[in-house]
Amino acid sequence: MVAQEEDRVLTADVIVNTDLRYPICIGDDTRPALATFLEHRGQRFIVLTDAQPDVARLARDIGRFPGALGVLPVPLGEARKRLTTVEKVQDALLAAGAARDALIVGGGGGVASDLFGFCASTYMRGVPYLHVATTLVAMVDAAVGGKTGVDVRAGKNMVGTFTDPVAVFAQTAALQTLPYRQIREGLAEIVKAGIIEGHELFESIETLAPHAFWRWPWLEIVAEAIKVKTMIVADDRQEAGIRQLLNLGHTFGHALETASGYRITHGAGVALGLRAAGLLALRTGRYSEEEHFRVLATIALLGMPLRTSVRVEDALAAMQSDKKKRAGKLRFVLPRTIGDVEYGVEVPERLVRAVLAQLRRQPESTG
């Protein structure tokens, strides 16, 4: 079924009718829209859920919709995003009688969407998958774009597939139970999206930054951030070109995460990486201090780090090894202005070093 046709059966608050071939439904409570969607498909489905209690409760509700074969709670967490968990989940699917014509409905954050999406894309050579996103990261990033996967010894997300879901439901009410540190993980990606998109999204975040998270209009923010990601992904599903824009802040970010032995979370890495990308853009004469300071001020207000004690040599080594793994060159995504970001920029190593050294010092003036 084409996305447009499925969109018509949805009645939730916001439906991003994206250039992707599947609908993304954003609502405070997307359960009614999901029920309609499932009824319209008329397919048997089985629910896989992160065993976290708030998420599992939502999943049990979905498991009461007509056509449900059952609900399988799976204890997750990054450490469990592994092939061993995939095997357990797929065994459980077989035991529950999920046939080739079943749909898998997954619920949870980015670990759930990566892992359950991967399970679905390989179960019986691939069955359709739908994700109900319950973390900010899953809503604005992980569940959108069709990348699934698991971590292996050699590195994170090194085994996986590009498999589109049949739909994504972003349940913004779920953010009420999400710890603030997890909200910040998602915000790092939203700030990134804001710099790529430019004015409206970035200005909203800048305005909201001093306010407590529970007061934020999450529905609108999530919708805007999703639009940025889907627009870019639709142009480049296999990550051959423009999708690299979404890696703004990530070359530095990944290196800092790795070099810190993952003491620095992904979101914190991205926040630091956004400072680093800004500094590199300044040093190569393509950015204005005024805009750089606006980004720094916003990141600081959101309670994310701008400074790290990771040593230059360690971060550089991590960057080189990442580059080798991905068989790529060391290239950067750099802002020219907020709203105009370029990718594939080669930069002399001495400038990268200088920026890494600067990250160990107080942020440059935000005045």
Ligand X SMILES: NC(=O)c1ccc[n+]([C@@H]2O[C@H](COP(=O)([O-])OP(=O)(O)OC[C@H]3O[C@@H](n4cnc5c(N)ncnc54)[C@H](O)[C@@H]3O)[C@@H](O)[C@H]2O)c1
Q: Given the rule CB under 6 A, which of 141-149, 209-217, 285-293, 334-342 is the region that contacts ligand X?
A: 141-149
Of all residues in the shown chain, the one whose CB is closest to ligand X is: 110
268: region left, alpha or beta (phi > 0 left; psi from -120 to 50 alpha): alpha
Nearer to ligand X, 216 or 287 (CB): 216
- Which of 182, 284, 288, 321 touches ligand X (CB under 6 A)? 182
Residue in 19, 21, 23 with CA at minimum distance from that of residue 9? 23
90 is an interface residue for ligand X by CB under 6 A: no
Q: Using an 8 Å Cβ cutoff, are 234 and 187 in contact?
A: no
Q: Given the rule CB under 6 A, which of 5-13, 51-59, 122-130, 204-212 is the region that contacts ligand X?
A: 51-59
Residue in 127, 120, 194 with CA at minimum distance from that of residue 160? 120
Nearer to ligand X, 104 or 137 (CB): 137
- Which of 6, 7, 141, 291 touches ligand X (CB under 6 A)? 141
Distance in Å, CB of 28 to ligand X, minimum? 13
- Which of 73, 128, 145, 253 touches ligand X (CB under 6 A)? 145
Nearer to ligand X, 197 or 291 (CB): 197
164 is an interface residue for ligand X by CB under 6 A: no
User: Rg (Cα) of the chain, in Å, rounded?
Assistant: 20
257 is an interface residue for ligand X by CB under 6 A: no
49 is an interface residue for ligand X by CB under 6 A: no
Nearer to ligand X, 55 or 191 (CB): 55
Positions of E strands within the chain: 14-16, 24-27, 45-50, 68-74, 103-108, 129-133, 147-152, 155-162, 167-171, 331-337, 340-346
271 is an interface residue for ligand X by CB under 6 A: no
178 is an interface residue for ligand X by CB under 6 A: yes
Distance in Å, CB of 258 to ligand X, minimum? 13
- Which of 6, 25, 49, 81 touches ligand X (CB under 6 A)? 81
d(CA 86, CA 183): 27
Residue found under tokens 């990566």: 114
Q: Which residues, at least 6 apart from 71, have a Cβ–Cβ distance to it below 8 Å?
A: 46, 47, 49, 56, 59, 60, 62, 63
d(CA 153, CA 257): 16
Q: How many of the chain's residues bind ligand X (CB under 6 A)? A: 29
Q: Given the rule CB under 6 A, which of 34-42, 47-55, 232-240, 347-355 is the region that contacts ligand X?
A: 47-55
- Which of 10, 16, 33, 55 touches ligand X (CB under 6 A)? 55
30 is an interface residue for ligand X by CB under 6 A: no
d(CA 187, CA 303): 10
The CA angle 299-304-309, to the nearest 5 degrees, is 115
163 is an interface residue for ligand X by CB under 6 A: no
In degrees to the nearest 10, what's the CA dihedral of 154, 156, 161, 164? 180
CA distances from 272 to 75, 85, 248, 256 (A): 30, 32, 11, 8
Q: Which residues bind ligand X (CB under 6 A)?
A: 50, 52, 54-55, 76-78, 81, 108-112, 114, 134-135, 137-138, 141-142, 145, 147, 156-157, 174, 177-178, 182, 185
